[in-house]
Structure 1
Amino acid sequence: MQATSYTYDSETRCGSVLLDDGTPVEFDSAAFDAGGLRLLRPGQRVRIETEGPGEDGTPRITLVTLQTL
């Protein structure tokens, strides 16, 4: 699934993305580390992998990586 990077904290390696419908979804450091990235800037297109809905009803992100063509 594709999304757009929205927030990112380099100290905690956590942040959030915006799905294409505008829904914000947070990711944790494990999802960021799984993608092998070192930095993420707001506005970058990313590819995410998710698991079923989390406690708040949104998908739980398990991987964040840059979207490449």
Structure 2
Amino acid sequence: MTHALVLKTFPAGSPRGSWPAEEFAARVREHGRGAEVVMDLAADAFLAVETSPFAPSDTSGHEAPALGAVA
């Protein structure tokens, strides 16, 4: 299972579809943070999630190695 920080949710039944979520993610990226839009099928919603070049830590607090790092 992949974990991501959900910045904001948008109903999929909106007349404009994913546009509001895409516009929100674009504003977040303008401020120097990574963001993308994904679909949550179970909740029938678009999610604006924060993206990061590093994997989030697991529940025991061990950090995953950075991309390209040798363990």
Q: Give the TM-score category using the shorter length.
A: under 0.3
Structure with the larger strand share: 1
TM-score (norm 1): 0.22
* Structure having the higher Rg: 2
Structure with the larger helix share: 2
